[in-house]
Structure 1
C-alpha cells in the first residue's frame, strides 16, 4: 500500500506533518506502507518560509486502487491567486487519480483542490471553519458541512483545519488495522483519537484512554491482551508496582470507570466480535473472553446493549 503526499507551494507544515507522522509511527509498528512525496512545482516554500527542496513531479506517481493521496492545506492567499487557478493539469490529474479508486484525502483548505478537480460536486465535505462559507460560495454544487472534524464519502475524504488532519489519518488507520492498533499509534503520538460524523460507533479500545498515566495505560493494555487470564486486583497492582487500593483509586481517577467495569466492557466487545463467526460456539467464546460459563456471557451481553 502507498500513501502519497503532495507538497504544494506555501504548504501549512502541520497539515503535512500531522498525517505523515501518523503513518510513520504506524509503519514503525508494523504497517506495510510506502510513503511517497510529490509536488506540482519544481521547489516549494512552506507558509512559514521553510524551504522544502526538490521532490518528484506528481506525474511520476503510480497510484492505484487501495492507495491513498493526501493533499495538505496551504496559505489561503495562494488559493485565491491566478497561479493556483492555473494548475488545470494538476487538478485533472487529481480527478483521474480518484477515478482509479485511489482514496483522495484533503486537509484543511486543500478541499479547494478537490473543488477545482470537480470532486466536491454533490458530495458532503468540510474544511477549516474559517473557510466553510467561502468554500460553499466558490463551489456551490458541494455540500459543505461546518461542524465536523472530517467527512468520508466514497473515496473522497475531507478534514477540517490543521490538527484535524491527524484525526482523519487515524480514522484511515483504524479502517485498515483496527481500533486497538490505532489506539497504540495515537498513544505514541500523545493525541486523543477523536471521531467524526461519519466514523463508526465507539470502541472500548479507544474509550477511557484520554489520559497520560503510563501505569494505567499498562494495566489497560494488559487487560486487552489477557481477557481470560489472571486479572485479580493483586496481579494488576503487582504489574505496575502499586498497592491494590492505590491502583483502584488511580484507575478510576484517570478513566472515570472501575477496573471491573472496564474489564467487563472489554470482554463484551471481544465476545460480540467472536460471536459473529459462525464456527465459534458460545462455550468457546465464553472461555476465550474470561467468562465462567456461557450463561454468564449471555446474561452480561443482555445488560450491555
Structure 2
C-alpha cells in the first residue's frame, strides 16, 4: 500500500481541534483499508524548536520533532488558531521554504492566513473560517477568497473553513485515496457526516438561521428539518406552534431572521442537494421526498438558487468528485 505521511505543524495558540480532527480521520482510515494498514498515513507533529506548545484552549501538545531538519514527505497540514494573528516570522519563513515541497498542502481554519503570509496562496482560490475571510482578503489581495465553501481545492493546495471543516477535508482526501466505503466507515466511527464536495456552504440551512428562543418555534424548526416532504405551509406550521398564522409568521421572522417560507425553501433545497449527491434516486423521486411535489417545481428552485437544474447539478457534482479520484 502507498503510504502518505502527514506532517502537522504546531505552534502556541493553535486550535486543538484543527489538529486532532484531521489526525483522527487519517489515523482511523488505515483500519478500514483493504489490508487494514494502520500506518496508511504515518503522522508526525513538529514545532519550531521541538518544544511543547499550548493550544488556544490551554491544552499542551508535545510534538514529535522540531521543524528544523524535518522533511516534508507527502502531506503538510497547517492548522489555525489564535497563534495565527501574530505568527512567529520563523514559522512563516519555514513554510515559505518547505511547504512547496509538499505533494499535498492543507490548511484548516485560519491556517490559511499562515499560508498566505508565506505567499503560498497568491493567485489561488482559498477559503478560511467565515469570520476571517474579510481579513484574509484585505491582507492578501492576490488571494481569491471564497467565503462560502467548507473547503476549496486548488491544485495540490487545499484550504478549509472553520475548525470542524478540517474533518470534512480529511475525509475527502481519504475518499480520494481509498474510496468512498473507507471514508464512510471513518465518518461512522467519528459520528460525523461524510460531506464529499467542497462546494457545500459553510453553514447548513439550520445554522444560517438563528435558533428561535421559544420552544414551540424551535420545535417547528426541528419538524421542518425532519419532514421536508410534509405540509410546511404557514397555516400547518402555525397550528403545530399553537399560534395564529399571522402571529406565527411574525414571531418566526423576528426570532430566526427569516420568513417561514424562506426557511422551508432552504431546508428543502439542502435536502435535495444531499440526495442528488449521495443517492441514486431519480429527480422525480427526490422532488417528492423533499416536498416539491413535481420535478418542475424542484427544477425552478435549483435554477433560481444554484443556477443549474437538478440533473445538471448532479452531473457537475459527479464531475467534481471524479476530477479528484486520482491519488497524488
TM-score range, shorter chain: 0.5 to 0.7
Q: Measure, in 1, the Cα distance between the counterparts of 2:157 and 2:179.
A: 20
Give the aligned partner of residue 50 of structure 1: 59
Give the aligned partner of residue 226 of structure 1: none
Change (3 A) 1:144 1:265: closer
Q: String of CA shifts for 1:60-113, please: whole Å, max 9, x gaps.
A: 32223xx111111111xx3333xx1x42x4323323334324211000001011
Q: Secondary structure at the match of 2:106?
A: strand
Checking the alignment, whether the CA contact within 8 Å between 1:125 and 1:142 is kept in structure 2 is yes
Displacement after TM superposition at 1:139 (Å): 0.7
Displacement after TM superposition at 1:50 (Å): 1.3
Displacement after TM superposition at 1:53 (Å): 3.2
Q: Secondary structure at the match of 1:108?
A: coil
TM-score by length of 2: 0.56
Checking the alignment, whether the CA contact within 8 Å between 1:152 and 1:198 is kept in structure 2 is no
Displacement after TM superposition at 1:265 (Å): 4.5
Q: Which residues in structure 2 correspond to 1:136-147 (within 5 Å)?
A: 136-147=137-148
Give the aligned partner of residue 131 of structure 1: 132
Give the aligned partner of residue 108 of structure 1: 109
Whether 1:154 aligns to 2:192 is no
Q: Secondary structure at the match of 2:119?
A: coil
Q: String of CA shifts for 1:104-145, please: whole Å, max 9, x gaps.
A: 100000101101110110100000000010110011110000
Change (3 A) 1:135 1:187: same
Give the aligned partner of residue 179 of structure 2: 178
Q: Measure, in 2, the Cα distance between the counterparts of 1:123 and 1:117.
A: 13
| Paired residues, number | 198
Give the aligned partner of residue 69 of structure 1: 76
Displacement after TM superposition at 1:39 (Å): 0.9
Whether 1:18 aligns to 2:27 is no
Q: Secondary structure at the match of 2:11?
A: coil
Change (3 A) 1:178 1:169: same
Checking the alignment, whether the CA contact within 8 Å between 2:10 and 2:63 is kept in structure 1 is no
Give the aligned partner of residue 244 of structure 2: none
Give the aligned partner of residue 94 of structure 1: 95
Give the aligned partner of residue 38 of structure 1: 46
Q: Secondary structure at the match of 1:61?
A: coil
Change (3 A) 1:80 1:73: closer
Q: Which residues in structure 2 correspond to 1:1-305 (within 5 Å)?
A: 1-29=4-32, 30-31=36-37, 32-41=40-49, 42-53=51-62, 55-64=64-73, 67-75=74-82, 78-81=83-86, 84=87, 86-87=88-89, 89-197=90-198, 265=280
Give the aligned partner of residue 249 of structure 1: none
Structure 1 unpaired stretches of 5+: 200-210, 212-255, 257-263, 267-303
Q: String of CA shifts for 1:22-67, please: whole Å, max 9, x gaps.
A: 0111123325221111111433101111122354111232223xx1
Q: Secondary structure at the match of 1:104?
A: strand
TM-score by length of 1: 0.60
Deviating beyond 6 angstroms after TM superposition, the runs of 4 or more aligned structure 1 residues are none
Change (3 A) 1:45 1:92: same
